[in-house]
Structure 1
Amino acid sequence: MKRRSGSAGQPAQELLPGTPSGARGRDAGWGHEQQAWNRGHGNVAGLDEVGRGALAGPVVVGAVVFPEGTDLAGLRDSKLLSAAHRERLAGEIREQARCWSLGVAEAAEVDRLNVLEATFVAMRRALSDLVVTPDLLLLDAVRLPGSEIAQRRLVKGDRLCASIAAASILAKVERDRRMVEFDRIYTYYCFGENKGYGTPVHLAALEKRGPCPIHRLSFRRVLGPQERQGTLLA
């Protein structure tokens, strides 16, 4: 998507409990967005990441800005949805969003920086690709260092805040797509099924075969004694 630089120059806000204002049952609600819109924030961006705990593959961050007054139903933490439901909602999110983007940090960046810093890199990439400059960020419990944009950190934000849930859905759909592609290249690890997470089948493959080029070598469960001596198996 088209890049646009700039920020609102406002201080970050404190960590807030993610009260489910406006939630429909288990759906994430629009209460935090509505509160921000009422306070004059025209471009409220929800951000969330997927893949921090995986042993292989990238960290992917979604960023979404919805028009004021959006009330899209059915948004939830992406982990609570089936793949088919995520795909359907992702289409609705893209249609209704003012703009959206994705930021990616590859496994090599996770190894070089650590997974948290790589997540921040992916967040900055997602923000830089939005076609509008947000004046408020809604984040799932973390704070993005170095950003001059006002931030609101919400406990369990991906379950309670619609924009964060939408960002998690877009990120999950994209990351899953990439892992299915990697499965065609590195067939031994069943990435299409486990998406790079440490399932018994994945761990057994690592034990027998060792890591492939998209494994995170800085993660303790990835490297066995042989690989710690410098052997990387393709």
Structure 2
Amino acid sequence: MGKLSIQEIKQILLTITADNDPQLMIFREDSRKGVQQAIIQWENQQLKKIALKKQYQEMSQFEKEKKAAGFTAICGIDEVGRGPLAGPVVAAAVILNEDHQILGLNDSKQLSITKRESLVKEIKKNARAIGIGEATAEEIDQINIYEATKVAMQRAIDQLEISPDCLLIDAMVLPNGLPQEKIIKGDARSVSIAAASIIAKVYRDEWMTNYGKDYPAYGFDKNAGYGTKQHMAAIESQGILSIHRKTFAPIKDK
């Protein structure tokens, strides 16, 4: 039997997870440049996985502490959309499975669209319960963005199929009587909050994109409601929409 092709070796490498794998040892003896490059790529991928696992362990500390304290339904909560000129503020609440491991979780703003959408699928596979809540632009104008954020978060909790017994919240405190911990920059420090951040971000971006199909001039599919040059030009030429926050500058000055 002749030598495996470089492409065949690359396919086999995708299935190898251990550095002492006998097949890998054989490949290392192959002097072909393409094989050696493929091995280097494999090694780099393994280093990335190790780093991601370490990061995941570090981001699981809050959840481990709460579990050690006796809590069994630990819920991460985060919101997106405080700053835009248009659209709702959206919050998500996520209770992860006991044996979850979703490598790559992070603050949704630090992730690409493709990565966020991939992680949403993994989060849904690894979650006991997911809730999404929102507060409309009208509500934001009535009670202010800070209070509207709390409303959206509580609505997300209320949508959960499982009642949480402990909350991990990104930089907020909710007046609902549940045991909770406010974590500054929680979306980069807690796996549960990071998961909620990603769920909320993807949901809100889809919401804005769908709304923007009826009003393409505003570019909501690209700006998510933030005050970009295109968005501001559309406000000047076509006016303020129902989803605009009338108390936000510069809209409130018009």
TM-score grouping bracket, smaller chain normalisation? 0.7 to 0.9
Taking the aligned partners of 1:37 and 1:27, their CA distance within structure 2 comes to 14
TM-score by length of 1: 0.82
Deviations 1:114-149 (A, max 9, x none): 1111111111111111111111100111111x2110
For 2:242, give the aligned amino acid.
P
Q: Which has the higher contact order (CA 8 A, sep 6+)?
A: 1
Match of 1:157 in 2: 186
1:224 Cα offset (Å): 4.2
* SS across alignment from 1:158: helix
Aligned ranges for residues 137-152 of structure 1 at < 5 Å? 137-144=167-174, 146-152=175-181
Larger CA deviation: 163-172 vs 199-208 = 199-208
Over the matched positions of the two proteins, sequence identity in percent amounts to: 43
Which of 155, 176, 201 is the equivalent residue of 2:230?
Answer: 201
Larger CA deviation: 47-56 vs 195-204 = 195-204
Taking the aligned partners of 1:108 and 1:48, their CA distance within structure 2 comes to 21
Match of 1:14 in 2: none
2:78 equivalent to 1:44: no
Match of 2:204 in 1: 175
Deviations 1:90-130 (A, max 9, x none): 01101110111100111111111111111111111111111
Taking the aligned partners of 1:122 and 1:155, their CA distance within structure 2 comes to 19
Q: CA, structure 1 residues 26+95, in 2 after alignment: closer, same or farther (shift >3 Å)?
A: closer
For 2:112, give the aligned amino acid.
S
Taking the aligned partners of 1:140 and 1:23, their CA distance within structure 2 comes to 22
Unaligned runs of 5+ in 1: 1-21, 226-234
For 1:134, give the aligned amino acid.
P
- Poorly superposed stretches of 4+, deviation over 4 Å: 25-28
Match of 2:30 in 1: none
8 Å contact kept, 1:29–1:160:
yes
Taking the aligned partners of 1:186 and 1:172, their CA distance within structure 2 comes to 21
User: How many corresponding residue pairs?
Assistant: 203
Larger CA deviation: 159-168 vs 111-120 = 111-120
Larger CA deviation: 100-109 vs 69-78 = 69-78
Q: CA, structure 1 residues 105+210, in 2 after alignment: closer, same or farther (shift >3 Å)?
A: same
Which of 135, 141, 163 is the equivalent residue of 2:165?
Answer: 135
Structure (1 or 2) with the greater helix fraction: 2
Aligned ranges for residues 1-80 of structure 1 at < 5 Å? 24-25=54-55, 29-80=59-110
TM-score by length of 2: 0.76
* SS across alignment from 1:71: coil
For 1:75, give the aligned amino acid.
L
Q: CA, structure 1 residues 214+27, in 2 after alignment: closer, same or farther (shift >3 Å)?
A: farther
Taking the aligned partners of 1:201 and 1:153, their CA distance within structure 2 comes to 37
8 Å contact kept, 1:211–1:223:
no
1:45 Cα offset (Å): 0.2
8 Å contact kept, 1:27–1:74:
no
* SS across alignment from 1:217: coil
Match of 1:219 in 2: 248
Aligned-residue Cα RMSD (Å) equals 1.8
8 Å contact kept, 2:85–2:245:
yes
